[in-house]
Amino acid sequence: MNEPVAVIVNTSGGTASSLGDKLEATVRAAFAGQEIDLRLVEGKHITEAVKAAAGRSVVAIGGGDGTQGSAAATFASSETAQIVLPLGTRNHLAKQLGMPADLAEAAKVAVGGKAEQIDLAKGGERVFVNNASIGLYTKLVRERDRRWGPKWLGTIPATWIVLRTLRAKPMMLCIDGRRERVVTPLLFIGNNRYSLEAGSVGQRESLSDGVLSLFVVAQASPLALIAFAFRALLGKADGERDFCALADAKEVVVEGRGAIDVAFDGEVERMALPLTFAIMPGALKVLVPHEAASPDAPPAGGRERQSLNRLPHRSGEPNSLA
């Protein structure tokens, strides 16, 4: 006899939060015809609920990318298959996996999906599914939440406040054993290769390349950073002008002393230095629709993936980033 599908939903944000009292009925209707073990939990209790489901063959997780990352940390390197239900705000991982936006269609993966292995990444012991960043974005989130709460309308004024006072930070990085000193307002580390090309900005062609993508934004004035943001969104970022370093890597260490704010999949945490970022190849089993592209499929149109390999030719001593 098949065990019920464990379904764990974060009620604290995104689509799930907006459904209110209709959430349970909506989820059960989506899984109509399937036997499920449903748990609706607040975000602060997600890790506990997920750990209780460890050892199940299939667990569906409803929530955004931060929630999916929390679950992935528990299921990594196990036989449990995670189903990514798009019940968060942006749902980047769900889109990357080809999961339907419609909850009922996504739920069908539990009985008719295919298993794939995808990479995870971690900063210290914190597992993430999409990306991590240090600098501009973390300050923006802190400022927005302090003044306006976690509301997207507060992002615009918070961005301007942060840009006016932002100072590029010196950082000592160790990239696959090579030490590099950089000065940057924003360091971005992606789980697998992120595209800068027009039409696919911020997307990944694969979730199983087994590399981190490192983007170190060049030091610039506030207006120049705004201009860079628009160029990046349009797929017109200039690798030579806009970045002081680009690299594919297995491991990136941010050296130094003290602690620093890091955004993991959009959620800011305080992390001790030195901090090691590493790729976790094939660490997570997921169930996806049969029609979804394989995570290691070649890019559309036959384009070869381009490795990032431009690093500065500088070195120095570690700096405190506290």
Quick one: pLDDT at residue 313?
42
Distance separating alpha carbons of residues 186 and 218, to the nearest angstrom: 8
Q: What Rg value do the Cα atoms of the chain yield, rounded?
A: 20
In order of their start, the domains of the chain are 5-112 (3.40.50.10330), 128-279+299-310 (2.60.200.40)
The bridge status of strand 5-10 relative to strand 58-63 is parallel
Q: What is the pLDDT of residue 308?
A: 52
Please state, in angstroms and rounded to a whole number, the distance separating the CA atoms of residues 202 and 308.
Answer: 15
Candidates 249, 162, 267; CA nearest to 210 is 249
Q: How many residues does the chain have?
A: 322
Residues in contact with 48: Cβ distance below 8 Å, sequence separation at least 6, in sequence order: 41
Q: DSSP strand E in 70-222: where?
A: 81-86, 114-123, 126-128, 131-135, 169-175, 178-184, 186-191, 212-217
With contact defined as beta carbons under 8 Å apart, do 266 and 66 qualify?
yes
Q: What's the rounded Cα separation, in Å, for the pair 211 and 170?
A: 24
Query: Residue 257: phi, psi to the nearest 5?
Result: -125, 165
Is residue 191 within 8 Å of residue 130, measured between CB atoms? yes
CA dist 24 and 11 (Å) reads 10
Give the DSSP letter of residue 250.
S
Give the separation between CA 190 and CA 129, rounded to whole angstroms. 9
Angle between helices 155-165 and 136-147 (to 10 degrees): 130
Look at residue 168 in the predicted model and tell me its pLDDT: 86
Task: Tell me which H or E stretch contains 60.
Answer: strand 58-63
So what's the pLDDT on residue 1? 52
pTM: 0.87
DSSP code, position 303: P
Structure tokens at 73: 């940390």
Report the Cα 252 to chain-centroid distance in Å: 16
The residue among 69, 70, 53, 65 whose CA lies nearest residue 5 is: 53
Structure tokens at 3: 């065990």
**Cα–Cα distances in Å, from 235 out to 102, 185, 222?**
29, 20, 20
H helix intervals, 31-118: 46-52, 65-75, 92-96, 103-107, 109-112
Per-residue pLDDT of the chain (322 residues; tens, 9 = 90+): 578 999 999 999 788 888 999 999 999 999 999 999 999 999 999 999 999 999 999 999 999 999 999 999 999 999 999 999 999 988 999 999 999 999 999 999 999 899 999 999 999 999 999 999 999 889 888 888 777 766 666 777 777 777 777 788 899 999 999 999 999 999 999 999 998 887 677 889 899 999 999 999 998 888 888 888 888 877 888 878 889 889 999 999 999 999 999 999 989 999 999 999 999 999 999 999 988 766 665 444 333 334 456 555 433 443 434 3
* Residue tagged 């890091």 (tokens): 262
